[in-house]
């Protein structure tokens, strides 16, 4: 049902884009709009991972990092029967994580230093498994395409007043309404796709790590941290908010049309149901110990270099 809903929402996004092109310049405008969207998607498809990682100043983590994060990602990727993605660290105190890449062969998992310090070994494994599920399900590619479509629709809507065809078909009031409603509709579809894929990734991630309660406990901790700790890079680039496991922008505590993520309590409830209704057990914390049995990540002395040297 999740894949069917995603397909229907993608079809709605495509129809909206084509309809906007038609209203602006007839059948020729519809074709031009599709060509523009195709070019934008092709560029984003090949460069999305590098672009997003650069936006958040992510630093690559080597295979032999002392925290054991790379080892964890590799082991869970083997459990998921998928290629091992690149691993990145983002130097921000907000606990969070995301995955990016056009396919499982060209993907990356990025976690924040705040996540490494906040979660237990088991909770971190649940988060990594969730992000691997996004990669394996090709969600990173889907969200890249929908984000590009949404941006293209907003761009075309802003151009609407410069095309006589749209004024003739809709009038000035209709054209102004289209400029407002078309980007809004595109954003709603994009958010709906994101919420649909989060539930699917929670389920698949719990299956990859084998313990739904690990992820449930992690979501609870991340929500508590993200709601009170700012993520400056995410605030500067709000279009990437839907990629994170928890909304980094402190928005919407419940399911709604305008939420990029499902309500965290609903996600936790679904994971507990997978585990038979048990409540997650809080994991003991040791500030000086990293979650996977290695050393805790250190703050970089030289801000031009990553926390891993």
Enzyme catalytic residues: 131
- Cα separation, 245 vs 250, in Å, equals 13
CA 203 to chain centre: 16
Residue with the two structure tokens 């609870």: 220
What's the DSSP call for residue 305? S
Residue with the two structure tokens 């074709």: 31
Coil vs helix vs strand at 137: coil
| Intra-chain end-to-end CA distance of the chain, in Å | 45
Helices (H) and strands (E) in the chain, counts: 9, 4
Q: Roughly what angle, to the nearest 10 degrees, separates helices 164-209 and 121-136?
A: 130
Distances (CA, A) of 177 to 128, 156, 172, 174: 43, 13, 9, 5
By the 8 A CB rule, do 234 and 249 touch?
yes
By the 8 A CB rule, do 124 and 116 touch?
yes
By the 8 A CB rule, do 91 and 117 touch?
no
Residue with the two structure tokens 């941006």: 151
Query: Which tokens belong to 166?
Result: 């749209």
Q: Roughly what angle, to the nearest 10 degrees, separates helices 264-274 and 164-209?
A: 40
């Amino acid at each position: 049902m999740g894949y069917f809903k995603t397909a229907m929402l993608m079809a709605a996004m495509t129809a909206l884009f084509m309809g906007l092109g038609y209203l602006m310049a007839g059948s020729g405008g519809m074709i031009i709009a599709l060509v523009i969207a195709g070019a934008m998607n092709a560029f984003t498809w090949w460069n999305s991972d590098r672009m997003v990682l650069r936006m958040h100043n992510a630093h690559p983590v080597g295979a032999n990092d002392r925290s054991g994060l790379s080892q964890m990602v590799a082991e869970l990727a083997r459990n998921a029967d998928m290629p091992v993605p690149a691993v990145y660290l983002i130097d921000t105190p907000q606990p969070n994580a995301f995955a990016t890449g056009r396919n499982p062969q060209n993907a990356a998992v990025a976690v924040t230093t705040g996540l490494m310090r906040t979660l237990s070994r088991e909770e971190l494994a649940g988060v990594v498994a969730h992000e691997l599920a996004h990669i394996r399900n090709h969600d990173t590619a889907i969200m890249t395409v929908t984000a590009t479509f949404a941006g293209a629709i907003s761009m075309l809507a802003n151009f609407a007043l410069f095309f006589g065809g749209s004024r003739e078909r809709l009038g000035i009031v209709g054209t102004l309404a289209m400029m407002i409603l078309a980007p809004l509709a595109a954003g709603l579809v994009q958010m709906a796709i994101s919420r649909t894929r989060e539930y699917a990734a929670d389920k698949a991630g719990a299956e990859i790590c084998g313990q739904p309660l690990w992820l449930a406990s992690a979501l609870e901790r991340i929500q508590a941290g993200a709601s009170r700790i700012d993520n400056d890079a995410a605030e500067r680039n709000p279009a990437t908010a839907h990629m994170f496991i928890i909304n980094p922008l402190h928005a919407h505590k419940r399911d709604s049309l305008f939420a990029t993520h499902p309500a965290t309590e609903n996600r936790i409830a679904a994971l507990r149901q997978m585990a038979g209704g048990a409540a997650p057990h809080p994991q003991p914390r040791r500030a000086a110990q990293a979650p996977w049995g290695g050393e805790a990540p250190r703050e970089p002395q030289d801000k031009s270099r990553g926390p891993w040297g």
